[in-house]
Chain A
Amino acid sequence: MPWDRNQMAARAAEELEDGMYVNLGIGIPTLVANYVGDKDITLQSENGMLGMGPFPFEGEEDPDLINAGKQTITELSRTSYFDSAMSFGMIRGGKIAAAILGAMEVAENGDLANWMIPGKLVKGMGGAMDLVAGVGRVVVVMDHQNKAGESKVLKSCTLPLTGKGVVDRIITNLGVLDVVEGGLKIVECAEGVTEEELRNATEATIV
């Protein structure tokens, strides 16, 4: 059985170490916050906040307090606020230890595509290009294949890039892969997934 969304998020949470400042992307990466356990992790929201808290109780939403996904959130005792220029200063300046992001495609050389499909989907990169260029470690969490059953882990990306050679680790519903010299290295398979199944589902070179 491949991992479901929550199992992928739980696996991604294992990447985080005590004391880290971390940025979580939209989608499955947001769920990672539910699995950090006792670790002392400070979440950054790139619109201008460190120390992001959980969603508010109903009726306690504050229009002045949202995350980078525009969802209402809360603050914590450790929270600080700042403007977007300083926020991306800490991203670009390498102060954020890790970013966990979703992706449309990842290539074996660490290229990442997650911001547009030409002619179809024109939403924009938001802060993703800054994050992948600046943070210490980039972990991608995504489904291994698209809805048509084609691999999203490719020899080279077909979509416009978000960053070139920026991905360190890929966590999918089938397992965990690291970007290494010459291709990808299997770190582990999801429970019940064989190495052969993982290889067969992957277009990229596995070394």
Chain B
Amino acid sequence: MKKIYDSAAEALDGILFDGMLIAAGGFGLCGIPELLIDAIKEAGTKDLTVASNNAGVDDFGLGVLLQTKQVKKMMSSYVGENAEFMRQYLSGELELEFNPQGTLAERMRAGGSGIPGFYTKTGVGTQIAEGKEVKQFHGEDYILEEGIFADLSIVKAWKADDTGNLIFRKTARNFNPPAAMCGKICVAEVEEIVPRGSLDPDHIHLPGIYVHRLIQGEHEKRIEKVTTRAKENA
């Protein structure tokens, strides 16, 4: 089966619908599926629920879908870098479900692994635990968290082969593998697609079984906070 598409718009054709749940990879602006996000903006799909650790910045990443008010609800752990997000949330236009970062990652991994729920100590005794089942194991309290089963996963990788095997680069891996796992359909955007056989099978980070559609494109890869040190301090 051919997985490679010519553009983000073609790769998303026929799989977007209003009110859908999308799981997106990325941490801050690092390793985000920027081309697919732009294509969803162009498609105009509305009332989206997006599970993503962050919400981008005002004019880049998921922030562009907030600008166009296509997002109804975010499931995130940290949204501090986005003024428009804060404005929409405080005015009640946007729903927000805070998830501890590790709980969000595990909810994606679990959903993609056929695990509808798991117990964790994270958040016990906090707001996060409100309304959730508490169970004791070995004398300690744990809360029940549910796996995420998304309609669509959008992820960014460094390289892919034409069968969808993915390799990520450095900390741009972050949420991409668990996000890719939890969707009914996963579309991946990569910097380079290489022929099968050119990636070492021992070095594949995410097997192509999780990846249904694939595009190659130019990425801006914007840096959120440039921090450097002076040479003389080396």
Contacts and interface: CB of A to CB of B under 8 A. Distances in A.
A127 B126 contact: no
A205 interface: no
B174 A70 contact: no
Interface in A75-112: 75, 81-85, 87-89, 91-92
Interface stretch (B1-9, B64-72, B75-83): B75-83
B114 interface: no
B27 to A, nearest CB: 4
Nearest to A124: B78
B145 to A, nearest CB: 11
Interface residues on B, range: 35 or more
Contacts of A125: 77-78, 98, 100-101, 128
A126 interface: yes
B213 interface: no
A160 B90 CA distance: 17
Contacts of B53: 84
B170 A75 contact: yes
A49 B171 contact: yes
A64 B77 CA distance: 20
A40 interface: no
Contacts of B170: 49, 62, 64-65, 75, 81
A161 B126 contact: yes
B80 A123 contact: yes
Contacts of A57: 228-231, 234
Interface in A176-198: none
Contact of B225 (A71, A128, A165): A71
A65 B126 CA distance: 32
Contacts of A25: none
Most buried by A among B101, B168, B221, B231: B101
Most buried by A among B90, B126, B158: B126
Given A57-B234, A64-B31, A133-B122, A127 B100 contact: yes
B178 A84 contact: yes
A92 B169 contact: no
Interface of B: 27-31, 53, 76-81, 86, 89-90, 96, 98, 100-103, 105-106, 108-109, 120-128, 158, 168-178, 205, 221-231, 234
Interface of A: 45-49, 54-67, 69-73, 75, 81-85, 87-89, 91-92, 122-130, 133-134, 160-165
Nearest 6 CB-CB pairs, A to B? A88-B102, A164-B125, A123-B80, A130-B102, A124-B78, A129-B100
Given A72-B226, A133-B120, 17 more contacts: A47-B27, A48-B173, A55-B228, A56-B228, A57-B234, A64-B170, A83-B176, A84-B105, A84-B175, A85-B177, A88-B106, A89-B106, A122-B79, A125-B100, A127-B101, A129-B126, A129-B128
17 contacts: A47-B171, A55-B227, A57-B229, A60-B228, A63-B223, A66-B224, A66-B225, A70-B224, A72-B226, A83-B177, A84-B53, A88-B101, A124-B98, A126-B77, A126-B78, A128-B100, A161-B125
